[in-house]
Amino acid sequence: MISAIVRTAITGLRRDRAALALSFVLPVAFFSIFAMVFGGEHDTIPQVHLIVVDQDQSIASRELIRALEREGSLLVSTHPEASRNQPAPPDYTARSAEEAVKRGDAPVALIVPAGWGAHPMAFGPDEQQAPKIELLSDQSDPIAPQIVNGMLQKAAMMAMPASMAAEGMQYTQKYLGTFTPEQRQNWQKSLNYLEQLQKDRANKPEAQASSSSGFGSGGIIAVDTRAVVGEHQNKSLISFYAAAIGVMFLLFTASGSSGSLLDEAESGTLDRVLSSRVTMTKLLAGKLAFNTMLAFVQLVVMFLWGWALFHLEFFGHIPGFIVMGLCTAFAVAAFGMPLASLCRTRGQLGAMSTLLILVMSAVGGSMFPRFMMPAAMQKAGLFTINAWAIDGFTKVFWRDLPLISLWPQVSVLLAIGLAMFVAARRIARRWEFS
């Protein structure tokens, strides 16, 4: 008897493709995504994008920058990316580097000030007055500054032995007394060797980047860390999570709401509506308008909740919120429509939308920030509504950027919404006539 029940259940499951997909495809997809993000695959470790400004132009500063460039976990830029077939733009200045961090082009920038090379190592009490490297950071990515600081200290240790030795000799003479000629000769011999070693390493095309551990801000290279984005925001990531979680649930709501098409088709109401003066285009446009309004109101509620309970600075960002909120709501509302038009039953729609939304949310940054992901996954995230919406809201609430800076996000979200609507209209032809 029990075997008969099991057999019936297996047959039922085999026929229910939606349940099969939810049972097997979704767990495997999620496992893969989490494994890629947190699994420590070395060839896919996320690189930290680092902007470097060398105001010093000394041998030591050059060596330091070369050493940083050799680190596999850092993607070092000294100038903005050139457009296709265009000459390389001028190097970053301290100001343009700070602007770039504020814009979100990179989470960290290093400014090596003029005169730093004369005393690169932070030994002794007098070095408080020596020029220090400035590390500009974006607080929305709390990991990147730590990595860069650690890499900086490691680079000093590994790449600049001669500089360290020379600096050490000066301090020894300064605080312990002058060396004898013999001591000086021996010291010079060792120094020559270290200088040669330093040069050899600098000329190596591919230095092996070993795993690094940070020395902290109190390392042998003195660093002044300054947050240029989010330094005054005590509730730092509330807006990020409001957008990230909001978009994910908006997608669920919108796909559920689009399912009313299936209900109406099943009950015969769709037939009746289409026999009136309402055309399929008008019907879909009406549904899209409703779903957009619903999604926008959901976002308003979410952000107001964030303002009331978590001190999110909502009322200072109303114009940006309206622009991003409407574009996100439009894209999300349109997302459910081709799915509903494609599916035959509510069950199919539920399974397909759950699968897509969870994968999109994972890859698009709704579950964990995209900067934690490998580069390939970060790029894949750009195919999701989540990533563009979160980027836009971050620009508004985190970076305080002007409305004009939202054009890439606005364009992409509107284009996604439009493409989804056109796709839904084409697929919905099956309901028009038989």
Partner 1 sequence: MATAVSAAAAVCAPPVEVEGFVKRFGAHAAVNGVSLSLRAGECLGLLGPNGAGKTTLIRGIVGRVLPNAGSICIFGANAGTHAARKALGWVPQELAIYPRLTCRENLMAFGRYQGLSGKELDNHAAWCLEWAALADRAGEPTQQLSGGMKRRLNMAAGIIHHPSVVLMDEPTVGVDLQSRIRIFEMIETLREQGASILYTTHYMEEAERLCNRIAVIDHGRIIAEGAHEELVRSAFGNSTQVVARFSGPAEGLAAWVAARGGTLNDGVAHFTLQQPAEIAALLDSAAATGFEPADVSLRRPNLESVFLHLTGRELRD
> What residue ranges bind partner 1 (CB under 8 A)?
267-269, 271-278, 433-434
- CB 288 → partner 1: shortest distance, Å? 17
| Cβ contacts of 88-93, under 8 Å, gap ≥ 24 | 91/53, 91/54, 92/51, 92/52, 92/53, 93/53
Give all strands (DSSP E) within 82-189, no chain letters: 108-112, 133-138
Sign of CA dihedral 146, 147, 152, 158: positive
- CB 276 → partner 1: shortest distance, Å? 4
Note the helical H segments in 316-397: 318-342, 346-364, 375-381, 385-397
Using alpha carbons, select from 34, 38, 25, 46 the residue that is nearest to residue 362: 34
Q: For partner 1, which is the closer residue by CB, 86 or 434?
A: 434
Are 392 and 324 in contact, with CB atoms under 8 Å apart?
yes
Rounded-to-integer distance, Cα 322 and Cα 328, Å: 10
- CB 263 → partner 1: shortest distance, Å? 9
Sign of CA dihedral 167, 172, 175, 177: negative
- CB 434 → partner 1: shortest distance, Å? 5
- Angle, helices 59-70/143-159, rounded to nearest 10 degrees: 120
- Angle, helices 161-176/59-70, rounded to nearest 10 degrees: 140
First to last CA, the chain: 45
- CB 256 → partner 1: shortest distance, Å? 15
Note the helical H segments in 16-77: 17-20, 26-38, 59-70
Q: For partner 1, which is the closer residue by CB, 235 or 282?
A: 282
Q: For partner 1, which is the closer residue by CB, 258 or 361?
A: 258
Q: For partner 1, which is the closer residue by CB, 205 or 268?
A: 268
- CB 266 → partner 1: shortest distance, Å? 9
Q: For partner 1, which is the closer residue by CB, 78 or 260?
A: 260
Q: For partner 1, which is the closer residue by CB, 83 or 275?
A: 275
Q: For partner 1, which is the closer residue by CB, 87 or 433?
A: 433
Q: For partner 1, which is the closer residue by CB, 129 or 434?
A: 434
- CB 270 → partner 1: shortest distance, Å? 8
Residue 168: which residues within 8 A CB-CB, separation 6 or more? Answer: 121, 123
- CB 249 → partner 1: shortest distance, Å? 22
Q: For partner 1, which is the closer residue by CB, 109 or 284?
A: 284
- CB 340 → partner 1: shortest distance, Å? 17
What secondary structure letter does DSSP report for 90?
P
Q: Which two tokens stand for residue 258?
A: 């689009």
What's at 416, amino acid-wise?
A: I
Rounded-to-integer distance, Cα 59 and Cα 66, Å: 10
